[in-house]
Amino acid sequence: MTKTLLVSCLVLALLVGCNTGNTKTDEEVTVATGQIIAEEQLDLNSEVDFIFYNDVVYVLSEEKELELTKEKLDEVGKIETQYTSDVDTSLLSATKLDEGSTVYAIDDSMTTLVVDQGNELKAYEAIPEG
C-alpha cells in the first residue's frame, strides 16, 4: 500500500513539475511524431542520411540491394528542402540528398523509398512509429 502511494505521489509530482505554465491560448505548437523520430536519429548520429516525407522518416539502408529499374517505380516527388527541425511536414526533405533529387516508391505500402544517385538506386527504409 505504501509503495502504491509513493509511486502515485512521484507520478503526480512529475506531472506537476513538467507543467510549463504556458497560458497562451492564441498560439499552439504541434510536434509531429515523425519530427520526434527525425530528431532522435540526428541525436544518435549527426551524419545520418534520411528522407522526411509525410511525417515518416526513411533512413538509408546500406544492406538493401535493389534489382529494379526506375521504369518500375512510381515517382513520389523531388527533394524540396534540406531537413531542419522546423521544416514544414508537408515538404519532401532530406539531410544529405540534394534539392531536386527525384524520390520514388517501390509500391503503395510506402515502406521503402528509392533515390537514383548517379545510376545507382539507393533504398531508404521507413522507421516505424513506436
Q: Is the pLDDT of residue 29 over 50?
A: no
- Band (pLDDT 50/70/90 cuts) for residue 130 is low
Torsion sign over Cα 77, 81, 82, 88: negative
> What is residue 7's predicted lDDT score, i.e. its pLDDT?
47
Q: Any residues with CB less than 8 A from the CB of 52 and at least 6 apart, and which?
A: 34, 35, 38, 58, 83, 87, 89, 92, 93, 94
Beta strands in the chain, from DSSP E residues, in sequence order: 50-53, 56-60, 74-78, 81-82, 93-94, 102-105, 112-116, 121-126
From the number of C-beta atoms within 10 Å of its C-beta (0-12, 13-18, 19+), residue 79 rates as: buried
Give the C-alpha separation, 16 to 95, whole Å.
Answer: 37
> What is residue 100's predicted lDDT score, i.e. its pLDDT?
93
Joined grid coordinates for residue 64: 538493401
pLDDT tens digits, 45-73: 889 999 999 989 999 998 777 777 778 89
Q: Is the pLDDT of residue 107 over 60?
A: yes
**What is the rounded average pLDDT of the residues 11-34?**
53
